[in-house]
């Protein structure tokens, strides 16, 4: 698809693969290719689940800092929104999405991982938001998604200090969902989402929208969103198949319609 970001599709799983050696630094071009790959995965009916993976030793070691040394405030006002929206494109893929993390997932790399539904990480992986050490803060979702995931106190610890966490701590605080040997990370991520490739695609979309959308509103609004999405699924073929299969005591065969 792009020079540094590719979408590969096999057996219902789309892999968004970053390929900018040696550390998959996230420059402006990678940012826009990532946006394009996310939109392609979202719009491809053959893609039922997504794995975000960094080729080589590292997932993504952060932004390309060489782009930050001379950029002006006026320029960053324009660029910051584009960077954040590129990661939003990943977060808004209406399908199950897992990050397969080896090596470093730092700064923008950690923010990219946070935009996914789950994180499978290597035993020797390192995650963190070190932007404070550059005199800045995370600018692509780190202050928001990290706090929602692990709580504000723990998020402030990581963001204020800029320190890295290892796999044991990441698993303990909820930043990682599974920890496996480095050579098994991609396979473990695929295994995590494979079950969803034959699931009810529209119901999975609605469930993700309900959970993610509900986190940004009060309880009453979240319940209203849930009720709306719940009712809408009664117009789908998969609802008919799922309920009928249950009554007939057989496994459902979902079509995603």
121, 170 in Cβ contact below 8 A? yes
Averaged pLDDT for residues 115-143 = 96
**Band (127; pLDDT cuts 50, 70, 90):** very high
pTM of the model: 0.93
The dihedral over CA atoms of 144, 145, 149, 155, expressed in degrees to the nearest 10, equals: -50
pLDDT in tens, 33-79: 999 999 999 999 999 999 999 999 999 988 777 777 888 888 888 88
Domains of the chain with CATH codes = 5-197 (3.90.226.10), 200-247 (1.10.12.10)
Catalytic residue among 8, 46, 67, 111: 111
Beta bridge partners of 18: 5, 54
Asked if the model's pLDDT at residue 81 lies above 90, the reply is no
Please confirm, yes or no, whether 111 is among the known catalytic residues: yes
Higher-pLDDT residue of 169 and 63 is 169
Please confirm, yes or no, whether 67 is among the known catalytic residues: no
Return the SS3 of 46: coil
pLDDT in tens, 90-116: 999 999 999 999 999 999 999 999 999
Taking the CB of residue 221, how many other CB atoms lie within 10 A of it?
12
Catalytic residue among 32, 67, 75, 131: 131
- What sign has the CA pseudo-torsion 33, 46, 178, 153? positive
Asked if the model's pLDDT at residue 83 lies above 90, the reply is no
62, 27 in Cβ contact below 8 A? no
Asked if the model's pLDDT at residue 166 lies above 90, the reply is yes
């Amino acid at each position: 698809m792009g020079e540094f970001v590719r979408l590969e599709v096999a057996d219902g799983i789309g892999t968004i693969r970053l390929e900018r050696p040696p550390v998959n630094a996230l420059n402006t071009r990678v940012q826009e290719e990532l946006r394009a790959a996310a939109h392609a995965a979202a719009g491809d009916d053959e893609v039922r689940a997504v794995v975000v993976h960094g080729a080589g030793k590292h997932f993504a070691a952060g932004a390309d800092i060489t782009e930050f040394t001379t950029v002006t405030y006026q320029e960053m006002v324009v660029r910051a929104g584009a960077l954040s929206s590129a990661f939003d494109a990943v977060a808004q893929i209406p399908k199950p999405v897992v990050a397969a993390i080896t090596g470093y997932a730092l700064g923008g790399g950690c923010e990219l991982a946070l935009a996914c539904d789950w994180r499978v990480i290597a035993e020797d992986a390192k995650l963190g938001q070190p932007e404070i050490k550059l005199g800045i803060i995370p600018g692509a979702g780190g202050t928001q998604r990290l706090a929602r995931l692990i709580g504000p106190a723990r998020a402030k610890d990581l963001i204020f200090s800029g320190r890295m966490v290892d796999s044991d701590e990441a698993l303990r605080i909820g930043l990682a969902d599974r920890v496996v040997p480095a050579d098994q990370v991609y396979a473990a991520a695929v295994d995590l989402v494979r079950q969803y490739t034959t699931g009810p695609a529209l119901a999975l979309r609605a469930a993700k929208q309900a959970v993610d959308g509900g986190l940004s509103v009060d309880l009453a609004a979240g319940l209203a969103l849930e009720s709306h999405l719940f009712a809408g699924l009664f117009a789908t073929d998969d609802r008919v198949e799922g309920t009928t299969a249950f009554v007939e005591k057989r496994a459902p065969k979902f079509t995603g319609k």
